[in-house]
Structures are given as C-alpha cells and as structure tokens.
Structure 1
Amino acid sequence: MENPRMLSLVLCFGFLGLCQAIESPQYSVVHSESDFEIRLYRQSTWMSAPSKDISFEKATKFGFHRLFQYIQGANLNFSRIAMTAPVLTSIVPEAGPLHSSAYFVRFYLPVKFQASPPLPLPELNLKPYAWDSQCIAVRKFSGFARDSNIVKEAEKLAISLSRSPWANATSSESSNAYSIAQYNSPFQFIGRVNEVWVEVDASEFDGCKFSGVATY
C-alpha cells in the first residue's frame, strides 16, 4: 500500500460518500430473514486473481495487489478502470497446498468494460470471470474479515439457512465453498461492512427471478 495512487484509491474505496459513482453488481432481494437474505444477482463479468496462499488474508492482499495493477493500466489497452465494490474472495476447499484452501480474489468490472474487459498483462496471472445470473445467500458482519472469523461467519449463515425454507438449497454445483465480500478500505476502522456469500439452487423457488422491483 506504499504506492501513493493505491493509497488514494483505497481511501476512496473506504469512504464511499466522498467518491461518487462507485459501481457494484446489480441484484434483487427475493427473500429476507432477520440475519440473512437471498439475492438474485444479474449476469456480470469480473476479473479474477487466483491464489494458493494458505491464509485468506494474505490471498486477499496479494490478489488485490495484482488487480490494482490491472485497473491502474497494467493491461494491453493501458486502460484506467474505476474502483468498484465489493472485493470478493472466493474460497475453494482443499485446492491449495497440503489440502488447504485456495482462493480467487475478484474485482467487479464497471459497466463500461463488462462486454469487453481489457486483457491483463500476462505476468499478473488474471483472467476474466463470467458470472451467470444466480441466487446468493448473504449474511452481513462487521469489523475486519480475518482468518480467525470468516469460517465462524460462514457457519452462522449455514445454520440460518438450515432453519429456513432454503435448508436444502445450497448449490452442489458450485466450485466455491463460500465467498467473502469486503466493502471498505483497510484504513476504515468504524462502520465496516462485510458479507458471506453462498450460492443457492433456486430452481424450486418461483421468487428467485427478476421482477423489476427492489433492484440495487
């Protein structure tokens, strides 16, 4: 984070009220409980940074560093790309060294670049990731997302789902165990927002489709 441009960007990212027009993937809320909700996300394109670090925190840090280089112009078009939210770290169980977790750190591409993302420089080891429209179970939590708490938060979401109509809806086709969405700069200490995301199979639920209402 020593790079002045990166410092200004993460500060902007952390205080969204000071930085206008930060884009996020669009979704509709199709089901809501006291401690989680089901969202239907639209089809979208992300830039993905794979990492086999054992630590979630290290994987997110180094993955975002590569993504930051990409949006600052380390792509074949030399394009500058605006910051978006959230930064999403997806956990793939037993895919890393010694049967540990592996990770994909993902950056949502602004609408301007959705159809044709600038190609990243090869040394960054980034790839575009096409995300089909899908339902996601989401649990919010505050503070910092750490190695010490993300599993606990994911377990809380799993318990909530098990007590809801969505008890048997966890997607068996997903390659990710769950994902952690982070919305704030590491320099923001108060009012932090994080989310646990889990893909759910909504084939049995008529409500999991776009209605044109309550789209964010």
Structure 2
Amino acid sequence: MTSCLFPGLVVLVALMVSVGAEGGVGPSNNSSFCSESKECLEYELVCKTDEYEVRHYSPTRWVSTDAEAYFMGVGAAVAFRRLFQYITGDNNGGLQMEMTAPVLVRIPEETRIWEPAIYTLSFLLPAAYQERPPTPTDDKLYFTEMPSMDVYVRSYGGWMLSVTSRLHAHLLTKELVRVQADYNHTYHYGVGYDSPLKLLNRHNEVWYVAEGEAVCSDPQEPTPPHTPTPPHTPNATPNATHTPNTSHTPNATHISSSTIADSPSDLPANRPPTPSQAPEVTPSQGPVVGESPSANSSDSQVDGPWNNTVEASLEDTPSDNSVADPTDLNLA
C-alpha cells in the first residue's frame, strides 16, 4: 500500500515545484514594455512613487556567465555572445530556445576606473525549461536560482551604457537614502528589455534588492499644512474692495435690474424710491454716464461692449452738457 502511494506523492511534489518555478515567467502581452520576446519575467507591483517602483518577484531560474572588463558594455557584449550561443543550440541536447526578457547585468558597487570588474550577465530560462534546462557545453555558463525578492526599480529610456546605468543607479540610491530605505549596497542590476536592433522607445531599468520591509512612503515629507478658518470678528476691517457703504445698506430685493445694468454703484440715489417718497424725477437724479463704479460697490466691475459704448457716446457728448439723458444714448 505504501509503495503504491509513494510514486504518486513524488509526482505531486514534482508538479508543485514545476508550477512554482514557472510562476515568474509569463507571456509578453502581460507587460507594456516587454514586447519583443514571447515570454517575460512577471512581477507584482507593490507600490509606486514619483521616483521609483517597488516590485515583488517570485523565484526563477536563469542561465548566467561572468565577464571581466573595465567597462560594463564590453563585459556585457562578451557575456551576451556566450549566452546567445547556449539558447541557439550549444547545449547537450542541441535544443533551441526562444529569447526571453529581461536580460540582467549584475554590477558591483565598489569599482575603480583603473581596475577591471566582474560583470554577471543572465538570461531568463523559458517557462518550459525552468525545471529541467539543458546542460551548457561551455563550462563558463552556470545556472542561477533567483530567490523571491522585493526590488526598488527606476526606469529610463535610451541605451543601457556604463554612464547612463551609473547615473540612474546614483539617482535611485540618492532617493532611497532620502526615504531611509534599506537595500543591498554591494551590487545592483542593470536591466534591459530590448534587442540591439530596436532604436526607439527603448526601456531600461536599475534594480536594488530591498532588505527588510520595502519603503513606499516618504517619512521626511511633512504633513500638508492645514490653515484653520479664522474666527469671526465683528469689528474686523473687511477687504477694501468689498467695504459696504456705511451710510445706507440697500435691500437687494429693491434693486431693479435696470439700475444694476446702468450703474453698479451701490448708492442711495440709484435705488428706486418708494411710492410715498417718489420725488419728481429730474436729470440730476439719474445715473451719471461714464461715472466709475464706487470703490465700495459690492458688484464686480466688468469690461464689456456696454462699457465701451457708453464711453464712446460720452466722447461725442457736447462739453456744455455735463449730464446726458439715458434715452439719447445709442445702446442698441
């Protein structure tokens, strides 16, 4: 009985390992910037700020090789040639595998200009070969088990050169120090998604592996200031542009539309009289044409064609007639 169950248990464990290994590799249509290959490295976006992203990657298997060079570009070119020969048939089965993305370059932090550095280039194995990849014929190639990890990511366009990679790595570390994030200081990854034949809309990244809990907020950014509403003070002096006329406060329900249109000034002379107090209307009691609105008016001053018409009519009024009859104005 036990012998019958044991093979089934082995198969179940093998399937679980296989599914777990393939969980980080998926079709390229799941990514907006990984479009040249059929399969890409999948990730879970943890958070995003204006300066970087935090991503979570599942365990995956890669084929890698090391190259010693003074410049990253030279070492990456040598290593790329070895890995490309592996996926195109230089393996014990003569198998040809599809190119995947991205390509990782592990770059040491402590490098000197006068000394060469060791750069490690890695290709992501396709999902079908994550569990059982073919053995390389070149002894300089080996397999790398990438663990589950959170990484800080900064993206940039153009070409991934030594200068641009170092620049964006410096900008990312500067931001990580500012937000007090913990990360691995010994190396970082230069990440490329595009083939050398692609000239426009290229996508590159810089990765730093997070240590501990990833930081998604800025602890040094102050809380947005809150300005409380000032208490109401009856004796407080209001704004000069809204100071009412203290001699009389007009009732808004008694102001006619013609008075507002002809003269926005809030003066008692412009308020229609009550029937019991209606005096004889003389030209001097009408609105004075061309008079500027009072500084104490609560109505806004609007420049428009009506004001221009009144001013133009005023220029044509004889000098001996200081008061114009509103009916003589051509306001049509």
Q: Could you tell me the TM-score, scaled by structure 2's length?
A: 0.52
Q: CA RMSD in A?
A: 2.4
What does residue 199 of structure 2 align with? 189
What does residue 161 of structure 2 align with? 146
Matched, 1:104 2:113: no
Q: Identity of counterpart residues, as a percentage?
A: 28
Q: Partners of 1:205 and 1:194 in 2: how far apart?
A: 22
Structure with more of its chain in helix, by fraction: 2
Q: Partners of 2:34 and 2:213 in 1: how far apart?
A: 37
Provide, for residues 135-176 of structure 1, a one-character-per-residue CA deviation record: whole Å limited to 9, x for no partner. Answer: 111100110111222111100111121233xx231135xxx5
Give the partner amino acid of 2:157: S
Structure with more of its chain in strand, by fraction: 1
Q: Partners of 1:65 and 1:53 in 2: how far apart?
A: 15
Mind listing any 5+ residue stretches in structure 1 that lack a counterpart? Answer: 1-14, 208-216
| 1:206 shift after superposition | 10
| 1:186 shift after superposition | 1.4
Matched, 1:177 2:177: no
Matched, 1:37 2:46: no
Residue 129 of structure 1, aligned match among 141, 144, 157: 144
**Alpha-carbon contact 2:34-2:193 (below 8 Å) kept:** no
Provide, for residues 34-64 of structure 1, a one-character-per-residue CA deviation record: whole Å limited to 9, x for no partner. Answer: 1210111010000001111111111111111
Give the partner amino acid of 1:50: D
| 1:77 shift after superposition | 1.3
| 1:16 shift after superposition | 6.3
Q: How many residues are matched?
A: 184
Provide, for residues 46-102 of structure 1, a one-character-per-residue CA deviation record: whole Å limited to 9, x for no partner. Answer: 000111111111111111111100000100111111110011111124589964321
Q: Moved runs in structure 1, 4+ residues, more than 2 A?
A: 92-101, 203-207
Give the partner amino acid of 2:183: T
Per chain length, whose mean CA-contact separation is higher, i.e. which structure has more relative contact order (CA < 8 Å, sep 6+)? 1
Q: Partners of 2:171 and 2:121 in 1: how far apart?
A: 22
Matched, 1:50 2:91: no
Change (3 A) 1:121 1:97: farther
What does residue 88 of structure 2 align with? 72
Change (3 A) 1:74 1:95: farther
**Alpha-carbon contact 2:158-2:203 (below 8 Å) kept:** yes
**Alpha-carbon contact 1:89-1:105 (below 8 Å) kept:** yes
Q: Could you tell me the TM-score, scaled by structure 1's length?
A: 0.78
SS at match of 2:121: strand
Change (3 A) 1:88 1:205: closer
Change (3 A) 1:96 1:102: farther
Q: Partners of 1:66 and 1:83 in 2: how far apart?
A: 13
Matched, 1:87 2:96: no
What does residue 157 of structure 1 align with? 172
Rg larger in 1 or in 2?
2
Q: Partners of 1:45 and 1:16 in 2: how far apart?
A: 19
Q: Partners of 2:145 and 2:100 in 1: how far apart?
A: 16
Residue 204 of structure 1, aligned match among 208, 213, 217: 213
